Amino acid sequence: MGVIVVGSVALDSVKTPFGEVTDALGGSATFFSVAASYFTDVAIVAVVGDDFPSEHVDFLRGMGVDTSGLYTEAGKTFRWAGAYGFDLNDRDTIETRLNVFEKFRPRIPESLAKVEYVFLANIDPELQRLVLDQMKSPALAACDTMNFWIERKRKELLETISRVDVMVMNDTECRELAGEPNLIKASRRVLQMGPETVIVKKGEHGALMFKGDSFFSAPAFPCESVYDPTGAGDAFAGGFMGHLAKTGDTSDANIRRAVIYGTVMASFCVEQFSVNGMASLTGGDIEERFRQLKEVSKFET
């Protein structure tokens, strides 16, 4: 089994009401792979500059992440700087410097082309498609996106979406992609674009899953200490895909479980800066939050 993720590896400078970090390890592929590493073999395909600290590569390898697809190019690593306001729901991007990421053309190493679970993190939909073209026998491919691509590369995005099994996005993106304010209707419209399953991430309000006629509403984990929401969506995707790849089971019941594991990983992610909240968990920590989410959503007739 195992899962491969194609996305960004970045150095993030983040300011929240609780503190700030400079050039901390970030990027969609990073958050995804660290979360997924608790469930299954995970390989990363991304690019960094020659300024990228080797300790970060060591950290990823230490988490068991296969970095054979992490390319180093001459130049600087992708840098993102952002700040969150008082309630952590609004994020201001202060600066985005794509640097070496600007010319990123994902090449899947031969040794990874047969990985069966594929996650296309939020990158240009043309590059997402390029990844799909290189995979030999994907059992399940999922993709994320953002408003930028919905607005600027809609046609290419629709083409990518038509080729994946699972679409993962946040509620605002879902409404925008579908051109429909009702989130239930919007999600069903995205289903009609091709994917068998649509996952809508709603941050502090949990997540929704649509698969055929099945609809699942997952609670958020009741986090009292949210320090930095950066990467939560990718950590969610990492837990979700990691569990699916580990079990090789895409039944409705197991996809629901995967959504809960995604929720658990996102909850750890937001409790500290960068990937620190996910750096040293045990299987028991993860199972305990799974159990708590069961308790949180339980009611009897």
Alpha-carbon distance 228 to 300, whole Å? 35
136 vs 291 by CB, closer to its own copies:
291
Binding pattern for the stretch 88-117 against its own copies, x by CB under 8 A and - elsewhere: xx----------------------------
- Residues 46-85 binding its own copies (CB under 8 A) are none
- Stretch near its own copies under the rule CB under 8 A, chosen from 23-31, 74-82, 155-163, 183-191: 183-191
Alpha-carbon distance 91 to 82, whole Å? 7
Residue 231, SS3 per DSSP:
coil
Rg (CA), the chain: 18
If binding is defined by CB under 8 A, does position 253 make contact with its own copies? Answer: yes
C-beta of 189: minimal distance to its own copies in Å? 11
157 vs 259 by CB, closer to its own copies:
259
Size of the site for its own copies (CB under 8 A): 40
**In this structure, are strands 79-84 and 91-97 parallel, antiparallel, or unpaired?**
antiparallel
Alpha-carbon distance 202 to 110, whole Å? 36
If binding is defined by CB under 8 A, does position 184 make contact with its own copies? Answer: yes
- Residues 192-251 binding its own copies (CB under 8 A) are 202, 204-206, 215-220, 222-226
Residue 279 burial (CB count, 10 A): 14
- Stretch near its own copies under the rule CB under 8 A, chosen from 21-29, 100-108, 129-137, 291-299: 291-299
If binding is defined by CB under 8 A, does position 294 make contact with its own copies? Answer: yes
If binding is defined by CB under 8 A, does position 86 make contact with its own copies? Answer: yes
Length of the chain: 301
User: Which helix (H) or strand (E) covers residue 258, if one does?
Assistant: helix 252-269
C-beta of 209: minimal distance to its own copies in Å? 10
113 vs 184 by CB, closer to its own copies:
184
204 vs 285 by CB, closer to its own copies:
204
Phi, psi of 200 (to 5 degrees): -115, 115
User: Which helix (H) or strand (E) covers residue 10, if one does?
Assistant: strand 10-16
DSSP string, 193-212: TS-SEEEEE-GGG-EEEEET
If binding is defined by CB under 8 A, does position 18 make contact with its own copies? Answer: no
C-beta of 295: minimal distance to its own copies in Å? 8
The single-letter DSSP state of residue 136 is S
CB 222 within 8 A of CB 293: no
49 vs 206 by CB, closer to its own copies:
206
Token pair of 264, please?
Answer: 């658990």
Residues that bind its own copies (CB under 8 A): 86-89, 175, 181-185, 188, 202, 204-206, 215-220, 222-226, 253, 256-257, 259-260, 290-291, 294, 296-301
